Amino acid sequence: MTPTLWDVVVIGGGAAGIAAAASLLKRKPHLSVAIVEPNDRHFYQPAWTLVGGGCFNPANTCKATGKLIPNGAKWLRTRVTSLQPEHNQVTLEDGQSLSYQFLVVAPGLELNLGAIAGLENSLGKHGVTSNYLFELAPYTWQCVQQLKRGRALFTQPPMPIKCAGAPQKAMYLSCHHWENTGTLGNIDVQFHNAGAVLFGVADFVPPLMEYVKRYKANLNFSSTLIAVDGPAREATFRRTNGDGISTEHTEPFDMLHVVPPQRAPRFVRDSELANETGWVAVDEATLQHPRFANVFSLGDACGASNAKTAAAVRKQAPVVAENLCAALENRAPTARYEGYGACPLTVEKGKVVLAEFGYQGKLQPSFPLDPTVPRSSMWWLKRHAMPKIYFELMLKGHEWLARPGKL
């Protein structure tokens, strides 16, 4: 029997929603917990970069959502259309409402494909691809293999996006393949970055620049993709100079790897929970909403200033679980999230620079090694260990290397 009032409603059955529900039910298995998630397929998105580099089977990035729902939780296969936190309710696509004692908002984010003119009609053909879509990551690898000469463009939109290193990871793995096949010298590689730096944590820029030089890639900063003409194989960029003056520039391509702009889902952006940029407002340490104390958020939709990665979720889920349990018992929050995120930068097939950092770019390495050095051991971690950690530990509430800090 479905309760009319849930102890906890979790919006989202992706990494964040399932991990939070699992960690919560490990602590309080008798809670009534509903997970609202419309999709019957759950994706391990961190591997899509590897798929695009020919290093991972795409079928192994997808599992049935129903098999991942934690024991004790109820999966409601429907979509949230609006939030009424002042009434402790969420409205579903069929018009029905769910009432809750506590709400965990973890719906992920959406790719704003429409922000780039012509993109939606070009993706998956004409050499236009993106590792940010399950259906297109294999096409990336196809494009990489087929390109023998010409121009390859890789783009990065304005922040925030999920896995800020992924746009350049696509470039590195592509270049490594071309290097190995002897075609790199025939390919003009251009990286167009809407931002002003190669990577947001300065410690990792020097080793990345070594690979940029090795692959003879050209860096274009403050350069934002605004339009794609697939049949003509042309991409238009808006470039902003140091004086803030913008100009538009169109250039031809033979391959175009696009990372589209990203934003919170509309029902979040239009709600009382959103901050000024549309993400769920939270206290950066407790992940609790500043106005609605019975609301928590984690994952890509969360408005904390951390990097939006699955690794961040591994550290966020125990914090949300601990602090929600404290709130259930009318206690103050006890657990602190310190902004941890990780980006395994696949600089070549077989080596990774494992960037682990927290708020303000403070390094938070998990291993007693220089994190700026490309290592084959970190490739093994990325390629072989992390999928198992994700599915067998994180999504089951086993909090490996994820003990929360204390307030």
Residues with catalytic roles: 163, 343
Omega of the bond prior to 318 within 30 degrees of 0, cis? no
The residues pairing with 221 across neighbouring beta strands, listed in sequence order, are: 193
**Cα atoms found within 13 Å of the Cα of residue 253, Cβ hemisphere only:** 34
Beta-bridged to residue 236, according to DSSP, are 227, 250
Cα–Cα distance for residue pair 106/261, rounded to 1 Å:
19
- Measured distance CA(351)–CA(370) in Å, rounded: 14
DSSP symbol at 306:
S
Element (H, E) at 266: helix 266-269
The amino acid occupying position 346 is T
The number of C-alpha atoms within 13 Å of 179 and in the hemisphere containing its C-beta is 17
Name which of 19, 20, 79, 25 is nearest 44 in CA terms: 19
The answer to whether the CB of 259 falls within 8 A of the CB of 132 is yes
Question: β-strands 335-336, 73-76: how paired?
Answer: unpaired
74 bridge partner residues: 34
User: Which letter does DSSP use for residue 259 in this model?
Assistant: -
Residue 309 CA to residue 340 CA, distance in Å, equals: 9
Q: Strand pairing partners for 44? A: none
**CB-count exposure of residue 330 (10 Å: 0-12, 13-18, 19+):** exposed
Q: How far apart are the first and last CA of the chain?
A: 39
Distances (CA, A) of 315 to 29, 151, 228, 358: 20, 40, 38, 11
Partners of 197 in beta bridges? none
Give the Å distances, CA to CA, from 329 to 109, 322, 323, 333, 334: 31, 11, 10, 10, 12
* Degrees, nearest 5: CA angle 315-375-211: 105
